[in-house]
């Protein structure tokens, strides 16, 4: 039905909220926000993808039924940070000028996020930053994400911090408390929404392993600072573990980056109990996490999701900007030393007390209402409604 005159006028006056995102984790984490914006009477979402990722990004948009209004298609194989940033800046300006958003929303700390935020600032468009305030306090690790998120904070008008720790980081850097809202992490909204769906396993070896009740070690790795020698060591550690525990299975959905694949996959060939896969669609991956015995990862998002599902997470990094899981006892930082990876996984496999001390459900990152709080905060920024109370873990009324 055509809108009536009044409806059309109201639609015209809705605030245009452009969400710019480019990689898999950003797509997963903005999806609940886009869905919530769609239902808001005074806000209109304009999803724009940069295409920093391609297959891994499109996979998420398909799952969540999101059709971007613009796609900058910037991906190049083995792209460099400067090459990628240059393409992003060149492509973003005309999109901002054509679509005239009232605010630009970015999520996280990728190169897409930094470029989209800075380009919006240059166009004098207010920036809203989801997952604001994460800090490892080491500019070189994670690289370049720690720098990206700190730089984005400098040009942000509304900081949506997932936890109180991230809010405190921002306040310690002098950010105005009036501009910070603690929302919880939207990844928990996406997870809660998705994990309850039934899935068909697309890989028959994985389907068999799950049907046989074999214990599964889920592994994901992609961090830039682990490329090369460290990642090759991860591959060798996995080979040792596969041989040491032949009844268990290692499942590795491999990141599309050829640099990652070249480092890790050669050590894993010819092992019956190692299943390497293409990136899994989000519903299948969340089911895999649910079926996992142990999770070994250097991913940010997986560190946030696995505690919710009560899975012990060993993080192949020296530090983390997500200390809440470590404090909750479900996440342990183990670095990338080959022998240490083998020994830490072995402890969890062999010592029941150590395993059950970590295998406890904890939700320090969210309660499934982060998108609602985020959208309320955006509306409030425009004088279009009240804010919601900050997210407090474990508080049902928060």
257 binds, among ligand UDP, ligand UD1, none (CB under 5 to 8 A by kind): ligand UD1
302 binds, among ligand UDP, ligand UD1, none (CB under 5 to 8 A by kind): ligand UDP
- Give the shortest CB-88-to-ligand UD1 separation in angstroms: 10
245 binds, among ligand UD1, ligand UDP, none (CB under 5 to 8 A by kind): none
Member of 18, 21, 25, 146 binding ligand UD1 (CB under 6 A): 25
Confirm or reject binding of residue 279 to ligand UDP (CB under 6 A).
Answer: yes
x/- string (CB under 6 A) for ligand UDP, residues 171-210? Answer: ----------------x-----------------------
Is the CB of residue 30 less than 8 Å from the CB of residue 19? yes
Member of 36, 61, 107, 111 binding ligand UD1 (CB under 6 A): 111
Which residues inside 26-45 make contact with ligand UDP, applying CB under 6 A?
28
- Give the shortest CB-255-to-ligand UDP separation in angstroms: 6
Confirm or reject binding of residue 256 to ligand UD1 (CB under 6 A).
Answer: yes
Task: Give me 360's structure tokens.
Answer: 């406890």
Confirm or reject binding of residue 82 to ligand UD1 (CB under 6 A).
Answer: no
- Give the shortest CB-10-to-ligand UDP separation in angstroms: 36
What are the catalytic residues?
A: 109, 131, 145, 222, 224, 255
Which residues inside 258-297 make contact with ligand UD1, applying CB under 6 A?
258
Contacts of 152 (CB under 8 A, 6+ apart): 106, 109, 113, 114, 117, 118, 127, 129, 132
Contacts of 288 (CB under 8 A, 6+ apart): 206, 216, 218, 251, 253, 280
- Helices in 155-299 by DSSP H: which ranges? 164-172, 186-195, 204-211, 229-244, 258-264, 282-291
E strand map for the chain: 15-21, 43-49, 70-71, 103-107, 127-130, 158-161, 180-182, 216-220, 249-253, 274-277, 294-297, 313-315, 331-333
Helix axes 282-291, 55-64, angle to 10 degrees: 90
Q: Which residue has the tokens 């899981």?
A: 325
Confirm or reject binding of residue 253 to ligand UDP (CB under 6 A).
Answer: yes
258 binds, among ligand UD1, ligand UDP, none (CB under 5 to 8 A by kind): ligand UD1
- Tell me how crowded residue 303 is: count the other CB atoms within 10 A of its CB: 25
Task: Say whether 138 sits in a helix, a strand or coil.
Answer: coil
Residue 306 host element (H or E): helix 300-308
Is the CB of residue 180 less than 8 Å from the CB of residue 133? yes
Positions in the binding site for ligand UD1 (CB under 6 A): 23-25, 52-57, 76-79, 81, 84, 110-111, 144-145, 222, 224, 256-258
**Where does this chain bind ligand UDP (CB under 6 A)?**
24-25, 28, 187, 220, 222, 253, 279-280, 282, 285, 299-302, 305
């Amino acid at each position: 039905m055509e809108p009536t005159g009044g409806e059309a006028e109201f639609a015209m006056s809705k605030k245009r909220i452009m969400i710019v995102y480019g990689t898999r984790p950003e797509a997963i984490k903005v999806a609940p926000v886009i869905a919530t914006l769609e239902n808001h009477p005074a806000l209109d979402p304009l999803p724009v993808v940069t295409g920093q990722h391609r297959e891994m990004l499109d996979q998420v948009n398909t799952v969540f039924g999101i059709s971007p209004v613009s796609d900058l298609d910037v991906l190049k194989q083995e792209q460099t940070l400067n090459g990628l940033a240059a393409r992003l800046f060149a492509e973003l300006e005309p999109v901002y000028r054509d679509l005239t958003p009232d605010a630009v929303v970015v999520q996280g700390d990728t190169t897409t996020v930094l470029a989209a935020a800075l380009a919006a600032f240059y166009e004098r468009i207010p920036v809203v930053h989801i997952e604001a305030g994460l800090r490892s306090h080491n500019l070189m690790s994670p690289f370049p994400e720690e720098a990206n998120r700190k730089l984005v904070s400098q040009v942000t008008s509304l900081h949506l911090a997932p936890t109180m720790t991230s809010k405190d980081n921002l306040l310690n850097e002098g950010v105005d408390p009036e501009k910070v809202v603690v929302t919880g992490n939207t990844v928990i909204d996406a997870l809660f929404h998705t994990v309850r769906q039934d899935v068909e396993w697309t890989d028959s070896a994985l389907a068999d392993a799950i049907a046989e009740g074999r214990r599964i070690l889920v592994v994901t790795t992609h961090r830039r600072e682990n490329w090369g020698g460290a990642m090759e060591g991860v591959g060798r550690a996995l080979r040792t573990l596969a041989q040491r525990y032949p009844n268990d299975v290692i499942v590795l959905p491999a990141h599309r980056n050829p640099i990652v694949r070249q480092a890790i996959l050669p050590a894993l060939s010819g092992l019956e109990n190692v299943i390497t896969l293409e990136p899994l669609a989000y519903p299948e991956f969340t089911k895999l996490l649910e079926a996992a015995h142990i999770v070994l990862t250097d991913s940010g998002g997986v560190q946030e999701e696995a505690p919710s599902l009560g899975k012990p997470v060993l993080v192949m990094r020296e530090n983390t900007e997500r200390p809440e899981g470590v404090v909750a006892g479900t996440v342990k930082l183990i670095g990338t030393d080959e022998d240490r990876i083998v020994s830490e996984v072995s402890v969890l496999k062999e010592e029941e007390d150590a395993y059950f001390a970590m295998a406890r459900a904890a939700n320090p990152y969210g309660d499934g209402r982060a998108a609602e709080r985020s959208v309320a905060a955006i509306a409030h920024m425009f004088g279009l409604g009240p804010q919601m109370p900050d997210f407090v873990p474990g508080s049902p009324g928060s």
